[in-house]
Amino acid sequence: MAALLKVRLLQAEQQTVESLASVDERTREAQHPDEIAALFGDAVIDEATFITERERDLATRLTLQRDLEQIRAALQRVEHNTFGYCVQCGALIPERRLLTRPQAALCVPCQIQVERHR
Ligand SMILES: [Zn+2]
């Protein structure tokens, strides 16, 4: 079980790193709207579209970065043999929860509490 979840975490880490790289790649390309216009024609990309996509990329980037932090924190817990326990109250996190979200750091009651205080 723990070994399977570790593999999943490593896969998730890999995927997140790749997604971040592709967002960065897009952001770099998008820094030159004139070049994009030259490639696709002025009609395809107007300023509003450009700004919206840039905002979306930034939001995506923040989400991916947060995911990556959580995944890496979970991998740390695997190393320290504390994986699968809630970081707040120490309760065992149900297997079902870990299978859908291996980077989960909190048990469900603690998660609900945190979300309520947000
Ligand atoms: Zn808890």
Measure 10 CA to ligand 1 centroid, in angstroms.
24
Measure 94 CA to ligand 1 centroid, in angstroms.
11
- pTM value is 0.77
Measure 96 CA to ligand 1 centroid, in angstroms.
15
Per-chain residues with Cβ under 5 A from ion ligand 1: 86, 88-89, 91, 107, 110
pLDDT of 34 reads 66
pLDDT of 116 reads 93
Q: Which of 23-32, 63-72, 94-103 has the lowest mean pLDDT?
A: 23-32
Helix runs in 31-91, H state only? 33-40, 47-79
Identify the CA nearest to 8 among candidates 80, 81, 101, 85. Answer: 101
| Whole-number Å distance between alpha carbons of 18 and 11 | 11
Q: What is the pLDDT of residues 39-68, one digit of tens each?
A: 666 555 667 777 788 888 899 999 999 999
> From residue 1, how far is each of 67, 84, 95 by CA, in Å?
22, 10, 9
| Whole-number Å distance between alpha carbons of 49 and 45 | 6
Measure 103 CA to ligand 1 centroid, in angstroms.
14
